[in-house]
Amino acid sequence: AVLSGPSFALEVGRGQPTALVAASESAELAATVVEALHGDGLRVYSSSDVVGVEVGGAVKNVLAIATGMLDGMAAQGAAGAPGLNARAALITRGLAEMTRLGMALGARPETFMGLSGLGDLVLTATGDLSRNRKVGLLLAHGLSLAEVLAQLGHVAEGVYTARTVADRAAQLGVEMPITQAVVEVLEGRLQPREAMALLMSRQSRAEA
């Protein structure tokens, strides 16, 4: 079984209200996990879409780095800097990328509107406790990736997941421009502002 969802460990440890999803191909196993963990401060839902829950848990970290970069540029207040409109657009289009990859891997689209998709993405992309978001913030302030990781002092999964997600998407023929932009920044080929300009210059298309 896979357990995922919007859950900063600090808040879980404090007993603050949290909701998660337990996914398993075995309904019996999912029910066992729910029974073991469900309680006053922790609400646990069940799902049979293991792949969808796994994809959401991985890709949201990459998108949180992108959102952190955007928020870091916004904080600098330069002319033409991104704001709340851009953040909303990035999260929404990031969710579309996550869904496309998940469906190509056999996941169900509705999973990405749930706790392990949209829920975890919103938390990780906007919450101040997010390590991945902090990576993006520091990159936007001009630190190198090595400096960011040294200052962070913790693992930020999206740093290591980004390239894998981009490569898997390419193998499947899935378009993930935000993820690819994060890879370009992490690997030193673009600066955050250049990555944003590249995304904004993409040709207009039907929303999907």
**Dihedral angle of Cα 98, 103, 109, 115, to the nearest 10 degrees:** -50
Sheet bearing 18-23, strands edge to edge? 2-4, 18-23, 42-47
User: Active site includes 60?
Assistant: yes
Nearest to 21 by CA among 149, 130, 118: 118
Q: Give strand ranges (E) for 34-146.
A: 42-47
Write down the catalytic residue from 60, 131, 133, 134: 60
Q: How far apart are CA 124 and CA 63, in angstroms?
A: 8
- Which residues are identified as catalytic? 60
